[in-house]
Structure 1
Amino acid sequence: MYSVAPSHKVERERPKSTMLSAKGPLQKPWIQSRDPHSRVAYFLTYGVMLIGVGLGVLRCYLGWFDVPLLQGPMCLVMDENFDSEDGIFGENGKFLREVDMSGFGNGQFEMTTASKNNSFVKDGHLYLAPTLTSDNLGEAAIEDGFVYNITGCTFNITHGLSYTSSSHATNVSVIGSDQDFDLEGYTRACSAVSNATTGQIINPVQSARLSTRRSASIKYGRVEVRAKIPTGDWLWPAIWMLPVDNTYGPWPLSGEIDIMEARGNGPRYPKQGTNWVRGSLNWGPVTWLNAVAKTFGAWPLRRGGYDKDFHTYALEWDEKFMRIYVDTRLNHMLALNMDKSFWDRGDFPPVVQNGSQTVILNNPWVNGTKAAPFDQPFYLILDVAVGGTNGWFPDGGNKPWLDGSQNAMGEFWKRKDEWLPTWPQTVEERALVIDSVKMWQKC
């Protein structure tokens, strides 16, 4: 038999990490007592986070709670869905077709007519459509040797109430409502003469301007107009309001509320095209000083344009606030608190220069409320203007006329081959299309 030597277990030294020091005991922090400062830091971090969330929620709540809303009962003044043309136009209709060739104080190039070509109801919608005057008169008559008297001129209705022309500027802060008959103004509004020698032409575009001046007005309340704006270079659609009476004087002393203004130029137009709409207030202490720059705003569409679909343009207004928005209150173009008078808001100098004259400014709203001049009844206007020399279409950007030109309208017409192709052939795209109009008055 063979004997077997007993086995022996080989003991090997456990390898040590090179990260540990060869001297001294190994550190075992998990068995040590916690540093009290780390516990404080833990609770402090999450505590601050919770406080931040709480403050954010509180701010959202207070922001929602502080949004001014119309209080009290509202009485319906107008609710029109244009299911038919009955009761829309005519002597007792809801909308007056204002007929005028004067340019409405802005040097506009259109004449507004009572023609069914320019304003009509079809398939549940109201259309305000621009057309060429040459379709009726011919191009030769527009450019030379023709006297045109517009049919149904409404100068005698509109003049002396809320229609004014900025070409009749006055240095007086407030004028009386009674005025002598203005023969020059009547001639300018109701007729035109073409003369190739002077460059004077007949308004090359016919369009529409409709108002509720004889049927509906509100002092504080709500207006909603659901509409689709037109496409076409140099078209100027608008939904706006003027005072029933010039209580504080001629424009802009008695105010103007623009619920929506837009430009028919495409989205690439550098001065805000069909993908923008604007709301504003016009007001000032004299006829040639408008403080609109202090009270206006705009809202863009990130995709598409306002000419592609219907949108709701709204005004909310009382003695404490005014809000103008599109579709939702979150999309407000203008939100204004009436916490101070418009005289204080304007921060007007005591003395201004008007040409060579020095004019002392007086507060025309001294006898009104803080909301003055927007503390009086206003009526609604729907219109499609074309061009103009007031700066709504700034010079440049391939604009075919200059505002300072003596023959701006003629320059516009001469370059019709540039802008006319941008006007759609279909009236549905070329017109301002109104789906509904609603007006409420604070009871």
Structure 2
Amino acid sequence: MSKLSTSLVTLAGSTLLAACQTVPSNFADASDKRAVRAEQLTPITKSPNWQLVWQDEFDGEQIDLNKWSFEQNCFGGGNNEQQCYTARPVNSFVKDGLLTIHAQREDFSGPAANDDADDYLTAGTRTLPYTSARLRTKGKGDWRYGRFEIRAKLPTGQGVWPAIWMLPTDWVYGSWPVSGEIDIMEAVNLHTQSDEVGAPPGEREMRVHGTLHYGRHWPENVYTGSGFLLPDGKSPADDFYTYAVEWQAGEIRFYVDDYHYATQTADGWFSQTKTDNRWQDNGHNAPFDQPFHLILNLAIGGGWPEAVNEKGLNPDALPQNMQVDFVRVYQCSVEPDTGAGCEARDPNARHVKGVKAP
């Protein structure tokens, strides 16, 4: 959920380790401003060749620290989010087979820098008006290629921003977004007035988004993706749905339940690093050819949600919960080194053209 992306209605943002400025628009295709509707698609069947290699069903009495770590900071995600992330049980806990991430109104002080920043311990503290939680598998669950499934029920409200996403573990090609980011699912401002192109007055915001971040360092970074709407006017805040990506060498596909709604390929992404004052390509499949880890978080406010829908941050929307039923990671048994051979594709899924290297 790289929260440096703020302005595109159907594209997601991220919460980064790097810069904290709003980025320019980079639509690969103007039609991507409209979300893909489930009614445009045919449900697919997941390949039987996916083998489960890691999971958390949240059946215990507490968060499994062998699988998850807490990020603890008041950094603001790099784009003026208004929450501090804590490790307190009030902000994240396991009960009745569910992980709950709870965001609430309270003034809280904590480190002003991101957990992985060099100055995390020396940057001082910052006070923000909300608390929440951000969990990650870094160093405990890191994968290159596979199928990643997360079944979740999302919160609502103007300024409320749940995310399920992935960042590189070792940042092989350099800091964000040169080493990439995979946003499996993000949603902002659910149940507020939709501002999708062509949405009629009174239509509620119910889109979820799948996005990739890549390219060069800001301000030449790129983000491309697509929104998705569930069938029959259903809301991702009213029930649990399974959000997934299938990631193989040169291709990443996005799913909600049995709907494959978007695909991005290496022909539409790139990674470049400046060496001797010249931009150098990092390879055809880069940056999505290195181990990534999973992140679950609930942000409040920030550049993207506050700029769209009903604008700003509604304090009356809080408290809110993001609930997760399970997280499952699979490896393709056909070609585990590339992730190929387990594809489940809908020919009507949107092929996001992406942005080619300059």
TM-score, normalized by length of structure 1?
Answer: 0.58
* Structure 2 residue 218 is the aligned partner of structure 1 residue 278: no
2:238 aligned to 305, 308, 316, which one?
308
- Residue of structure 2 in register with 1:342 after alignment: 269
| Contact map agreement 1:228 1:310 (CA 8 A) in 2 | yes
Higher Rg = 1
| Contact map agreement 1:221 1:440 (CA 8 A) in 2 | yes
- How far apart, in 2, do the equivalents of 1:78 and 1:133 lie? 35
Q: Secondary structure at the match of 2:183?
A: strand
1:208–1:274 distance in 2 versus 1, CA, 3 Å: farther
* Structure 2 residue 64 is the aligned partner of structure 1 residue 81: no
| Contact map agreement 1:262 1:274 (CA 8 A) in 2 | no
| Contact map agreement 2:158 2:192 (CA 8 A) in 1 | no
Cα deviation digits, residues 152-172 of structure 1 (max 9, x gap):
x995x623xxxxxxxxxxxxx
Deviation of 1:77 (Å): 2.8
| Contact map agreement 1:267 1:305 (CA 8 A) in 2 | no
Question: Which residue identity lines up with residue 287 of structure 1 in the other structure?
Answer: W
- How far apart, in 1, do the equivalents of 2:129 and 2:192 lie? 25
Task: List aligned pairs for 1:141-180, cutoff 5 A.
Answer: 148-149=109-110, 158-159=116-117
Deviation of 1:231 (Å): 1.6
Cα deviation digits, residues 265-312 of structure 1 (max 9, x gap):
4142425965100000000122332211xx300101341311000000
Q: Which has the higher helix share?
A: 1
* Structure 2 residue 184 is the aligned partner of structure 1 residue 259: yes
Deviation of 1:360 (Å): 5.8
Question: Which residue identity lines up with residue 256 of structure 2 in the other structure?
Answer: V
- Residue of structure 1 in register with 2:316 after alignment: 421
Q: Which has the higher strand share?
A: 2
1:274–1:119 distance in 2 versus 1, CA, 3 Å: farther
1:362 aligned to 260, 279, 283, which one?
279
- Residue of structure 1 in register with 2:228 after alignment: 299
Q: Which structure would you say has the larger RCO, counting Cα contacts within 8 Å and 6 or more residues apart?
A: 2
1:70–1:246 distance in 2 versus 1, CA, 3 Å: farther
Question: Which residue identity lines up with residue 439 of structure 1 in the other structure?
Answer: V
Cα deviation digits, residues 314-354 of structure 1 (max 9, x gap):
11011142101111234x1x21233x3734xx9x9xx9xxx
Deviation of 1:263 (Å): 1.2
1:439 aligned to 326, 329, 335, which one?
329
Q: Secondary structure at the match of 2:315?
A: helix
- How far apart, in 2, do the equivalents of 1:321 and 1:70 lie? 16
More divergent stretch after superposition (243-252 vs 266-275): 266-275
Task: List aligned pairs for 1:9-48, cutoff 5 A.
Answer: none
1:84–1:95 distance in 2 versus 1, CA, 3 Å: same
- Residue of structure 2 in register with 1:379 after alignment: 293
- How far apart, in 1, do the equivalents of 2:226 and 2:315 lie? 30
| Contact map agreement 1:118 1:130 (CA 8 A) in 2 | yes
Q: State the number of aligned residues.
A: 283
| Contact map agreement 2:194 2:206 (CA 8 A) in 1 | no
TM-score, normalized by length of structure 2?
Answer: 0.70
* Structure 2 residue 149 is the aligned partner of structure 1 residue 215: no
- How far apart, in 2, do the equivalents of 1:206 and 1:111 lie? 5
1:374–1:250 distance in 2 versus 1, CA, 3 Å: same
- Residue of structure 2 in register with 1:18 after alignment: none
Superposed CA RMSD in Å reads 3.1
The unaligned stretches of length 5 or more in structure 1 are 1-62, 138-147, 160-180, 193-201, 352-358, 401-411, 413-418, 425-429
1:256–1:82 distance in 2 versus 1, CA, 3 Å: same
Q: Secondary structure at the match of 1:287?
A: coil
| Contact map agreement 1:219 1:441 (CA 8 A) in 2 | no
- How far apart, in 2, do the equivalents of 1:128 and 1:274 lie? 21
- How far apart, in 2, do the equivalents of 1:265 and 1:337 lie? 29
- Residue of structure 2 in register with 1:14 after alignment: none
- How far apart, in 2, do the equivalents of 1:423 and 1:222 lie? 33
Q: Secondary structure at the match of 2:307?
A: coil
Q: Secondary structure at the match of 2:327?
A: strand
Question: Which residue identity lines up with residue 116 of structure 2 in the other structure?
Answer: T
- Residue of structure 2 in register with 1:289 after alignment: 220
- Residue of structure 2 in register with 1:141 after alignment: none
The unaligned stretches of length 5 or more in structure 2 are 1-40, 337-358
1:262–1:361 distance in 2 versus 1, CA, 3 Å: farther
- How far apart, in 1, do the equivalents of 2:100 and 2:60 lie? 12
